[in-house]
Amino acid sequence: MKIILTGSLGHISKPLAVELVAKGHDVTVVSSKPGRKEEIEALGATAAIGVLEDAGFLAATFAGADAVYTMVPPPNFTAPAFDLLPHVRSIVTNFATAIRQAGVGRVVHLSSIGAHMAKDSGLIRFHYEAEGILSELTGTDITFMRPVGFYYNLLSFVPAIRNFGFIASNYGADDLIPWVSPIDIAASVAEEIVKPAAAGRNVIYVASEELTCNQVAAILGNAIGKPDLKWNLITDEQLQGIYEGFGMPKAIVSGLVEMQSSMHKGVFYEDYYRNKPTLGKVKMADYALEFAAAYSRD
C-alpha cells in the first residue's frame, strides 16, 4: 500500500513509519523541517517537506495514496496571542480538502479521549471540532483513534517533585486514570490503516494501563528513589492560581483546569468505558525507566 503519514518523526509517527516500512508498504512521511529529510529516508520512507497550512501541498502529497494518517501537531499553548480553535480548524480543513481532491479512500486520524464532548472538555475540545470537520467527507473511510493520557505528559510534574516533593493537581489521589504509550498507539494505527476502505466511520480508543494516581506516584517514586511520593488532589481554584502564577495565558489556564476537572469527575472517560479497548503492551513500570532518566537529567 501507498501510505502517507503526517506528524514528521514524532513520538507516534516515527515508530509507525518503521513498522509500516518493515511490512513492505510504500511510506511517505510529511515534515515541515527540511533537516528531517535524511532521517526519514534512512528509515526507508520518502520525505515530503512542506507545511500543513498549505492545502495544495497536502493534496499533491496525498495524490495516489491508498491511505493517509493525519494528526494536528501539538500547538504552542503558551504563546500569548495563540488562538487554538481557529488554528486547528484551518489545518483540519486543509486535510479534508486535500483528502477530497486526492480521492483518498482510507484515513486514520489521531484524535483524543474526550473528543466525544461538545462542552466541559477544556483544551481537548479542538479534537471534537476536528472530528466534526473530517466527518463531513463523503466516500472516505475514516477511523478516529482516541488515545488516553500519554505517559510522557507526566514529565510536566518533574519541577513540582523536585521543588515540593509531591505531585498535585485537580485530579489525582484515588482517581482511576487510563494511560498510554505512543508505541502502543503506533501499533494500533499500523493495524488499522491497512484495513480495506469501506466509506464508514469508526472510533477506536487506545490505552496501555489503568491506574489510580496514587499507584502512578508509587511507581514513579520508586523509579526516582522517592518511594513515599504522593499525588495530592487540590481544588480547581488552587490549580488555577498555580498556573496563573507561571504566567500562562488565562484562556489556556481555564482550558487545562476544565479538562482536568472533567477527568476527576469521570465524565471525561464515560465514552472510553463504553468502548473500552484491549490494553496495550507498554506499562507504567516500563515508562518509569524513561521518567527516571529524564528526572535525573533535568
Q: Residues 87-134: pLDDT tens digits?
A: 899 999 999 999 999 999 999 999 999 999 999 999 899 999 999 999
Residue 139, sorted as left (phi over 0), alpha (psi -120 to 50) or beta, turns out to be: left
- Residue 17: the pLDDT is 98
pLDDT digits (tens, 9 = 90+) for 258-269: 999 999 999 999
Position 80 pLDDT exceeds 70: no
- Is residue 170 classed as helix, strand or coil in its secondary structure? coil
**Residues contacting 84, CB < 8 A, separation 6+:** 75, 77, 123, 126, 251, 255
Confidence of residue 77 (pLDDT cuts 50, 70, 90): low
Domains of the chain are: 2-148+181-206 (3.40.50.720)
Q: Check: CB of residue 122 under 8 Å from CB of residue 257.
A: yes
Residues 221-231: pLDDT tens digits? Answer: 999 999 999 99
Query: Residue 107 is placed in which grid cell?
Result: 484515513
Comparison of pLDDT for 82 and 211, the residue scoring more: 211
> Is residue 199 over pLDDT 80?
no
At 295, list the grid cell. Answer: 528526572
How far apart are the C-alpha atoms of 34 and 220, rounded to whole Å?
A: 37
For CA atoms 20, 28, 106, 85, give the dihedral sign. positive
Residues 11-43 pLDDT 10s? 999 999 999 999 999 999 999 999 999 999 999
* CA gap 294, 155 in Å, rounded: 8
260: nearest Cα among 137, 197, 175 = 175
Cα torsion 82, 110, 243, 160 to 10°: value is -140
Specify the pTM.
0.96
